[in-house]
Chains A and B, each alone.
Chain A
Amino acid sequence: MAVNGDDIWILGIHMTKFGKHPELDTVDLAAEAAMAALADAQVSIKDVGVLAAGNLMAANAGIGQQLQKQIGQTGIPVYNVANACATGATALRTAIMAVKAGETPVGLAVGVEKLAGAGLLGGGGRPKSDDDTWQPKGRYGAVATVDGRIGTETMPGVFAQIGMQYVHEHPYEGAEFELFARISEKNHSHSTLNPLAAYTKKMSLEQIMGDVMIAYPNTRPMCSANCDGAAAAVVVSGEKLRTLSPDQQRRAVRVRASVLTTDPWEEACQVLPNVNTLTRNAAAQAYEQAGVGPEDLDLVELHDCFATAELVHYDNLQLCKPGEAIPFFESGATWRDGQTPVNVSGGLQSKGHPIAATGIANIWEICHHLRGEAGDRQIEGARIGLAHVIGLGSACGVHILEAAA
């Protein structure tokens, strides 16, 4: 194998079982993922020169140092990162940047979240003030909570509108509710092959559409599952990889592109978050960096935080012709036996979405296939894959990965 010294490689990676872990705290989960990633890489914490870590729900608690205190206080720099649902991808990108900059040959990225039973995210607003007269507050001079009075701030509602906007802009003769429910049917079907997914139950279209409505057209199984979980990755320079064993070199996965973007200003972007343009920009940069095109991808893990979100990213990631996400999905292309399998892990709707872990867990899924280690759900002969996440606010991470040999 020819290894370019300037390239970045994933040497080891791990994802914990996603689901309910009442007996484990965030540090337990982070430690499990980090130690297993180091073991997978066949290196020790003493070899690591930089640690980037994320735990969004306790972003000020310093999860990186808490982790070090359990698995090895080696004195290396820690970057605790928070970037909404893109936190894990941001941690990985931070470690990659440090290695790419030549600061250290080995970096470790960890993302962890305890979210089981968290319920609805977003919405609500501030508590009532002690004063019992209307007082304008904040940047909109609001005298009362605006969530529910001026639109919705709940995540299922925001992403519902994002999907509906796509249907509005790309007229569709069919029924929108059923269209989005069928995306969820695909992902729940895929999850039956993933033993690490939080939910592995196949669901019929009728079951999905008949479940509890959260924010039309998203019913409960069409929303990402709040759960506990962690993921970690060890990254190394090509120069370092050359010095490692043939087995380490064989299982290493090349990072062909690593990109993080934010949303550029556009009309309406501060009214309804625009998750499209920053994903389009990230995808375009990633394809250019990698020197590959969407037609080269053997599988894609994209940010299906809601069924309504998955549809728009087919278009944003150029998996289909511009504007043709709906016929692309209807052709069966994104099922695991289709032209571009999307979310063969089961996606966030069934695998689960422990926020800060998600942006590394999707990389783990891709690596698993590229190494030929994905068992029953292996996409045969997978060579190149893409992982995408969106964090509202917004941040978008796109990584393109390639098998070694």
Chain B
Amino acid sequence: MSQIPLVDYLVLGDDPHLVANECTACGARFFDRRNACAACSGTDFRQVRVATEGEVQAFTIVSFAAPGVPVPFVASVVDCDGTSVRGNVVNTPADPEHVHLGMKVRLTTVPVGTDSAGTEAVGFGFEPISSSEGGN
């Protein structure tokens, strides 16, 4: 079955990871299509791989959302080796006993759905790295 990423900065395949548009002049990183760099106004970018492991630097547990958005879920900002990434914390219960500031997480893929042509959309989230696994 063919797959399509939920967003174009997610690279699927055997080694799922995120990519950023990095300004070649100042190193600022962005996930969206760019006209220029918001930091230095440079216009030259290269695509760089973002680390797939990181640390939760902020989170919330959303219990009340727009219609059609399943709750509860954990929204977070993950520091992936110096690049901040927005994503949900997944594969763990969405409560303050299981999610905490500073927890170590790694990128994983999450199914979104299949369209009428049989193409599966795939998103991403961050799952806890259990302490027994260390920082692999």
Contact = CB atoms under 8 A, between A and B. Distances in A.
What class of interface size applies to chain A in its complex with B? 35 or more
Interface string A160-171: 111011011100
Contact of B75 (A120, A157, A168): A157
Nearest to B27: A267
Interface string B74-109: 011100001111111000000010000110000000
B25 to A, nearest CB: 13
A154 B66 CA distance: 8
B30 A270 contact: yes
Contact of B116 (A132, A212, A213, A215): A132
A268 B119 contact: no
B87 to A, nearest CB: 6
Contact of A151 (B57, B75, B102): B75
Contacts of B102: 168
B48 interface: no
Given A142-B6, A149-B112, A134 B121 contact: yes
B59 interface: yes
Nearest to B117: A133
A213 B77 contact: no
Contacts of B39: 265
Contacts of B113: 144
B62 A140 contact: no
A141 B62 CA distance: 25
B70 A148 contact: yes
B11 to A, nearest CB: 12
B63 A272 contact: no
Contacts of A213: 61, 63-64
A145 B67 CA distance: 12
Nearest to B82: A267
A149 B59 CA distance: 14
Nearest to B84: A268
A141 B58 CA distance: 25
A117 to B, nearest CB: 15
Contact of A215 (B9, B61, B124): B61
Contacts of A217: 60, 96
Interface size bucket, B side? 35 or more
A311 to B, nearest CB: 13
Contacts of A160: 60
Interface string A117-158: 000100111000000111010011111111111111010110
A148 B73 contact: yes
Interface in A266-295: 267-268, 270-272
B8 A141 contact: yes
Given A134-B121, A167-B101, A268-B84, A162 B66 contact: no
A147 B77 CA distance: 14
Contacts of A216: 60-63, 96
A33 to B, nearest CB: 31
Contact of A271 (B71, B84, B116): B84
A268 B71 CA distance: 25
Contact of B6 (A139, A146, A165, A267): A146
A168 B57 contact: yes
Nearest to A148: B69
B62 A215 contact: yes
Interface string B1-25: 0001111110000000000000000
A43 interface: no
Given A139-B33, A265-B38, A151 B77 contact: yes
A214 interface: yes
Nearest to A263: B38
Given A139-B32, A141-B8, A271 B86 contact: yes
25 contacts: A124-B67, A132-B116, A133-B117, A140-B8, A140-B32, A143-B5, A143-B7, A144-B113, A147-B66, A148-B66, A149-B123, A151-B87, A154-B64, A154-B66, A157-B62, A157-B65, A164-B101, A165-B58, A168-B101, A216-B61, A267-B28, A267-B83, A270-B32, A271-B85, A271-B86
> Shortest 4 CB-CB distances between A and B: which pairs?
A141-B8, A124-B66, A148-B69, A160-B60
Given A145-B68, A157-B60, A270-B30, 12 more contacts: A125-B66, A141-B8, A141-B33, A148-B88, A150-B6, A150-B88, A156-B62, A213-B64, A215-B61, A272-B77, A272-B84, A272-B86
